[in-house]
Structure 1
Amino acid sequence: MIELRNVTKTFPGSGKSAPFTAVDDVSLTVPRGSVFGVIGHSGAGKSTLLRLINQLERPTSGSVLVDGQELSGLSERGLRPHRRGIGMVFQQFNLFNSRTVYGNTAYPLKLAGLPRAEVRQRAEEALRFVGLADLARRHPEQLSGGQRQRVGIARALAASPKVLLSDEATSALDPETTGEVLALLKRVNEELGITIVLITHEMDVIRRICDRVAVMDGGRVVESGEVYEVFANPQHSTTAAFVRSVLPERPAGATLERLRERHPGALVTVPFRHDGDLGRELSRLLRRYGLDFSLVSGGISEVGQRPLGSVTLELHGTQAEVAAFLADPQLAGVVADGSGAQDSGTHGSGAVAA
């Protein structure tokens, strides 16, 4: 649905300041019907990247294609029909306080010159979809933050876009309202088939609704891919830091030392993935080698409706039993901390001393 080919955006310097490259040679493909997240810290270039898609910012070089049409070479007049197919939802809502909820929703349609009956039909349908039909005559100051963001989404949907761009749409909301707005965006994608590109600095937003993700740092995309695989196996330090913010880590450092003080047996951390059999096989393997265990740490979360995480166990058994257990070839990916009954230094394939 969207393709960026070697796109660079450099802003000219002013006075003594040098030119600044906000987006540096970025190539991305956003599949039709997907929810594509772009994450990065402040200044990473993600907002500029989003504005390049609808050509609110023109690229210094490279090409931007939406639905097969290259936009980067079009005039402002030539862009107008294509921009109508690209809706946008803003962080600060950008509503007119002087207009009602209905008036805000209908305003872009009136500007486009649509007949009054069609304007009413589209605006009312959009408000019903976001659950605000009964608040159509209220003004924005009478609404909560979540309701105002729903108005922003309704306004974008009323134009029947093929693409919806979300610019930090939940960062000004509390956690409960954030969940409601994310659920609404997921409905927009699933029920209306609209491709969504959202930018955020919160990895939990990516985890909850995105299919694919691009991680930006210093104007470049440092990693991209299917969300589950990026979470399960981050390749760049920036990505790993974002993943750690939402998924429990394997115990290390002071946390591991505290666990060792409380649990003298061998500690092992077992990864859980949707495509692995280790979780189902673990109890059987422990029984085979005569081991009991205590659960001491860990957590399993859902990423793309699939489980991902790890648990740390204290094994109860002899040194020989623990060593035999860890030598089992099915235990690839298990990490042992080297304490307790496992101090002999014997590790199975995939069992690595922490």
Structure 2
Amino acid sequence: MKRTGMRSASLVLTLVVSLVLVLSACGKSNNNEGAASPSASSSPSESASASPSESASASPSESAAPTVDGKGKKIGMVTDLGGVNDKSFNQQAWEALEKISKDTGADVKYLESKKDADYEPNLNNFVKGGYDLTWGIGFLFADAAKKVADQNPNAKLAVIDTTVDAPNVESVTFKEHEGSFLVGVVAGLTTKTNKIGFVGGMELPVIKKFEAGFKAGVAAVNPDAVVTPNYVGDFSKPDLGKLAAATLYDAGNDIIFHAAGGSGNGVFTEAKDRFKAGNKVWVIGVDKDQSIEFGNDITLTSMMKKVDQAVYTVSQDLLSGKFQGGLANAKELGLAEGGVGLPDNNPNVSKEILDKVEEFKNKIVSGEIKVPTE
């Protein structure tokens, strides 16, 4: 009896020890998997790289390009005076870099410019800090980017809405006039007063392209309509945009297309105030689908300019070792390249008008229609 009891106790003890060892091994295995799992990291620079299919569906360009490893790389972005939350192209550019960080593990950072004199020192801040790529967002960066690039030939820079003649600067511009032509078609076929306004930020060549294309689109479908421009002289003053919009709406314009950056937010504010008062007016947004921010009650449509797609693609190329600077490699994105156009969803635009838009788009892409730039 004693010997049998001792045997039983020994067997139980052996089983308990074995069980403890198994559970301990399992616990170590799970902990190792957690430490190695990308999702366990909370730092953006160490965050998970999405699988190629996940990255493709979420990237601004919606391309099927495989995700690259950007860990240890740094990308900086300098905004123009509109700031990073301009609801327009600065915000688009930053959202693209945030996506790059999420997809590749690269470190990203932005600096906001409060005055023109900030452009050069802000660019230099990133260049001297050893950043692998430094973005200047906006037409006004041309001179500053050229100077910084020439003084730092080993640095790599990229600019939006302008071109810089330097081998270490990649330039991306858009055919804004082509996309503006299409929203001009929408405006010309929608207006009830035959009075249509245009609010511009500053009278720069890039903004004049918006105006020229818009006027041409309106005239193509409604020669009786008159387009009246109103420039506020700034991209960062919503109060001036609101005042410009009030002037145009008071004069009987029932649709306003803006290309004014942050100042254009004031156009939406004025339209919203009038809508609340029972006066139905429209705004045509710019760069992004601005109905997402300002609502479908006042947003007729938007002229999409896919800055996010450009910033994402060029940044990814840099991380892949495919950076191509110099004027010979400058990119200009229009309707044919999918760089401009209308949003996918246009609940305030009839099928008949959208069919007409598609008809004109095909004529522009084929070369049958040449859209003016001034």
TM-score (norm 2): 0.24
- Structure 1 or 2: more strand by fraction: 1
Give the alignment's TM-score, normalised by structure 1. Answer: 0.25
Greater Rg by CA = 2
